[in-house]
């Protein structure tokens, strides 16, 4: 199959980009489950942008830089913050129904979240991501130049220098991406998608941990594929743990939005005592890294299973209108948030590191772009500010689309694609080894939670590294001999991402932002105010 552009992922970044380039180009959007099963769809809080009369770009920039703890790229932060209002208005014009202000129906209701000095979160109650995804999916389905491939999972990128290495091409070696091999899950066949430009918008890797707010699709596929292809990856040690994930045996991955604290919710312990004032002057509105470590410390000291977010002092009608999804979910589990506190624990939430890109989303491999959570753009630094993620996706998808739209167009049929051999299914598959998948999937996630969590030590990191090396050996040994399926592909990617997180964490001999190492508790600007870069240099 040949296309002008291949987009891997159907979240806000991938679909926004696709819609901006599809009028002049033929676009394939590949997504490994249903098109709405994305991290975007699970985003509750909203999108940060400077729209209030008491706000300013300088304030939003400063809040982002403070949260990023010295590792943000200032020029990128300025670009994203200043580009925000136009992108919000664009979504509104598309039909996204943001919550309007009761005082002025011509303006948006703006919420406040942790780390923000002003109320600047545009939202659709507590279902912002779902509302944005609704509009983008509808528009993509209606566009004649966009083809959506659901239940298709990318296996590996097609890189020109890899083909040269195998003697399949004779031209001068170039590190250029020509698309990807993709497994049609329902059809049980491997397809070759060729494209002049490829975009990885595959989201994060929260499923590398036992407890996460992420959907099941968040297995780090884009980062793992790009790393195997030779792209530069950066800052993988900075894993954001959201402080408040609902703690209940029947509540899988359900987030209690930071906006609950923005509306006056307090974090308390089992005895009803508030404790955040011990950890930060902003108390419950401190940045996520501070709150998550505080909760982790309190739970370990007390031996309790969880802490609580208490917003029961707010009016029931207000809670139903402002947080309809949270209110309904909690009530279904027997928790009335208007009368009792909500049990919560920290959970893996967001990858601040990823595939290194420039301001247009371009990676170190020609014609390979990365957008959204898969990317490391320089915006988030060592800790993402709340609700800056969807903002980043919107601004960078706009930039990437402008970059590609500025290039000469020619139909995909006229592009001189290289001769790419098909990727074959294993001919002598031994499916008795399928037990490897379930076992190692569980081992990786528990290993990462216990050894590479909110608080780390050098010894635990080294132990994790040794365990992961053995798991990788098993995967590499058995991968060619097991029937290819989505679980095996995801396991391979999870193992790669886990190794990248551990490797970067071992390199950084300090504590900064989301990376806290007991053996190196101080921040070291002299040696470590820089990105942690890594690359698999297989082809030198």
Q: Which of 362, 382, 414 is the last residue of a domain?
A: 414
Residues 435 and 520 both lie in one domain: yes
Residue 216 CB coordination number (10 Å): 14
pLDDT reading at 539 higher than 60: no
The pLDDT value given to residue 438: 84
> What is the pLDDT, as a whole number, of residue 41?
62
Both 254 and 385 in one domain: the answer is no
Task: Select the highest-mean-pLDDT range: 27-41, 243-257, 450-464.
Answer: 450-464
Is residue 511 pLDDT above 50, yes or no?
A: yes
Q: What is the model's pLDDT at position 169?
A: 46
Q: Do 382 and 320 share a domain, yes or no?
A: no
CA distance 267 to 344: 9
Residue 131, domain member (yes or no): yes
Residues 65 and 174 in one domain: yes
Q: Residue 540 domain-assigned?
A: no
Are residues 224 and 367 part of one domain? yes
Q: pLDDT, tens digit, for every residue of 407-462?
A: 887 666 667 888 898 988 877 766 666 778 888 999 999 999 999 999 999 999 99
Average pLDDT, integer, range 106-132: 88
Question: So what's the pLDDT on residue 424?
Answer: 84
288 catalytic residue (yes or no): yes
Query: Of 112, 196, 288, 293, which is the active-site residue?
Result: 288
First to last CA, the chain: 30
Mean pLDDT lowest for which of 146-150, 355-359, 412-416, 492-496? 412-416
Q: Are 96 and 221 in the same domain? A: yes
For 55, phi then psi, to 5°, come to -105, 170
Question: CA–CA separation, 82 vs 80, rounded Å?
Answer: 6
Average pLDDT over residues 252-272: 91
Q: Over range 142-167, report the average pLDDT.
A: 85
Mean of the pLDDT values across residues 159-163? 74
Is the same domain home to 124 and 221? yes
Name the DSSP letter for residue 201.
-
> Is the per-residue pLDDT at 538 higher than 60?
no
Cut 0.75: pTM above it: yes
Give the whole-angstrom CA distance, residue 80 versus residue 312: 36
The reported pLDDT for the residue numbered 101 is: 83
pLDDT range class, residue 43, cuts 50, 70, 90: low
Least confident of 179-188, 278-287, 412-421, 504-513: 412-421
| Overall domain count for the chain | 3
Q: Is residue 495 within 8 Å of residue 472, measured between CB atoms?
A: yes
Q: Does 340 map to a domain?
A: yes
What's the Cα-to-Cα distance from 160 to each of 66, 195, 368, 539, rounded to whole Å? 41, 12, 12, 11
Query: Is the domain of 386 the same as that of 491?
Result: no
**Helices of type H across 69-122:** 74-94
Q: How far is residue 187's CA from residue 486's CA, in Å, rounded to a whole number?
A: 12
Percent of the chain exceeding pLDDT 90 equals 75
CATH number at residue 512: 1.20.58.100
For 371-403, the pLDDT digits (tens) are 999 999 999 999 999 999 999 999 999 999 999
- pLDDT score recorded for residue 413: 62
How far apart CA 454 and CA 291 sit, in angstroms, is: 11
From the number of C-beta atoms within 10 Å of its C-beta (0-12, 13-18, 19+), residue 535 rates as: middle
Q: For 204-251, how does the pLDDT look when each residue is reduced to its tens digit (9 = 90+)?
A: 999 999 889 898 899 999 999 999 999 999 999 999 998 999 999 888
Domain of 297, in residue numbers: 242-348
Predicted local distance difference test score (pLDDT) of residue 237: 98
The domain boundary residue, chosen from 348, 363, 382: 348
Are 60 and 149 part of one and the same domain? yes
Highest mean pLDDT among 15-29, 255-269, 428-442: 15-29
Contact 199, 370 (CB under 8 A): yes
Annotate 167-192 with DSSP letters as a single string.
TS--SPP--BEEEEEEEETTTTEEEE
Per-residue pLDDT at 540 exceeds 50: no
Average per-residue pLDDT for the chain: 91
Mean pLDDT of the 144-165 span: 87
String of DSSP letters for 268-319: E-TTS-B-GGGT-TTGGGS-HHHHHHHHHHHHHHH--S-EEEE-TTS-HHHH
pLDDT band at 503 (very low <50, low <70, confident <90, very high): very high
| Dihedral, CA of residue 59, residue 60, residue 66 and residue 67, to nearest 10 | 150
Q: Which of 348, 381, 401 is the last residue of a domain?
A: 348
pLDDT at 258 (0 to 100) = 85
DSSP annotation of 100: B
Please report how the helices 458-478 and 435-451 are oriented relative to each other, as an axis angle in degrees rounded to 10: 170
Confidence category of residue 42, pLDDT binned at 50, 70, 90: low
CB 405 within 8 A of CB 4: no
pLDDT for position 412: 62
What's residue 252's pLDDT? Answer: 76
* Res 164 pLDDT > 70: no
Tens of pLDDT, residues 182-200: 999 999 999 999 999 999 9
Shared domain check, 279 and 134? no
What is the Cα–Cα distance from 141 to 98, expressed in whole angstroms? 22
Residue 210 and residue 348: Cα distance in Å, rounded?
Answer: 8
The answer on 128 and 78 residing in a single domain is yes
DSSP per-residue letters across 44-71: -S-EE---STT--HHHHHHHHHHHHTT-
The mean pLDDT value for 168-179 works out to 66
- Read off the pLDDT of each residue in 293-301 and give the average, rounded to a whole number: 92
The reply to whether 512 and 409 lie within a common domain is no
């Amino acid at each position: 199959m040949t296309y002008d552009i291949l987009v891997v992922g159907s979240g806000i970044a991938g679909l926004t980009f696709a819609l901006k380039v599809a009028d002049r180009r033929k676009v394939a959007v590949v997504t490994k489950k249903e098109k709405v099963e994305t991290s975007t769809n699970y985003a509750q809080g909203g999108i940060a942008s400077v729209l209030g009369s008491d706000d300013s770009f300088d304030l939003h920039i400063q809040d982002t830089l403070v949260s990023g703890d010295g590792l943000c790229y200032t020029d990128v932060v300025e670009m994203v913050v200043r580009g925000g209002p136009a992108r919000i208005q664009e979504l509104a014009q598309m039909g996204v129904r943001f919550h309007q202000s009761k005082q002025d129906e011509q303006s948006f209701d703006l919420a406040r979240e942790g780390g923000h000095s002003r109320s600047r979160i545009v939202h659709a109650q507590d279902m912002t991501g779902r509302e944005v995804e609704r509009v983008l999916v509808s528009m993509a389905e209606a566009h004649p130049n966009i083809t959506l491939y659901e239940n298709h999972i990318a296996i590996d990128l097609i890189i020109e220098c890899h083909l040269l290495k195998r003697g399949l091409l004779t031209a001068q070696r170039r590190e250029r991406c020509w698309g990807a091999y993709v497994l049609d899950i329902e059809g049980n066949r491997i397809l070759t998608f060729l494209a002049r430009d490829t975009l990885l918008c595959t989201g994060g890797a929260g499923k590398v941990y036992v407890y996460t707010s992420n959907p099941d699709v968040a297995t780090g596929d884009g980062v793992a594929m790009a790393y195997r292809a030779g792209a530069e990856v950066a800052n993988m040690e900075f894993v954001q743990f959201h402080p408040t994930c609902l703690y209940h045996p029947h509540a899988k991955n359900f987030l209690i939005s930071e906006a609950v604290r923005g509306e006056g919710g307090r974090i308390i312990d089992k005895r009803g005592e508030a404790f955040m004032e011990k950890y930060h002057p902003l108390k419950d509105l401190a940045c996520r890294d501070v709150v998550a470590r505080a909760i982790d410390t309190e739970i370990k000291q007390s031996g309790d299973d969880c802490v609580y977010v208490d917003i029961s002092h707010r009016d029931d009608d207000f809670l139903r209108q402002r947080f309809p999804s949270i209110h309904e979910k909690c009530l279904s589990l027997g928790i009335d948030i208007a009368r009792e506190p909500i049990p919560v624990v920290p959970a893996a939430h967001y990858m601040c590191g990823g595939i290194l890109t420039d301001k247009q989303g371009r990676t170190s491999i020609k014609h390979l772009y990365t957008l959204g959570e898969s990317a490391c753009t320089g915006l988030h630094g060592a800790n993402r500010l709340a609700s800056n993620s969807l903002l980043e996706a919107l601004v960078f998808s706009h930039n990437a689309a402008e970059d590609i739209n500025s290039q000469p167009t020619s139909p995909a049929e006229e592009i001189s694609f290289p001769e790419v051999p098909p990727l074959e299914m294993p001919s002598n598959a031994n499916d008795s080894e399928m037990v490897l998948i379930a076992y190692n999937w569980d081992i990786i996630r528990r290993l990462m939670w216990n050894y590479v969590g909110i608080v780390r030590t050098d010894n635990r990191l080294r132990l994790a590294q040794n365990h992961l090396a053995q798991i990788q050996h098993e995967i590499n040994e058995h991968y060619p001999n097991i029937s290819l399926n989505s679980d095996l592909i995801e396991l391979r990617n999870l193992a790669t991402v886990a190794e990248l997180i551990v490797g970067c964490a071992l390199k950084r001999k300090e504590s900064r932002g989301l990376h806290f190492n007991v053996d190196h508790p101080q921040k070291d600007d002299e040696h470590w105010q820089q990105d942690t870069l890594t690359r698999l240099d297989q082809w030198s």
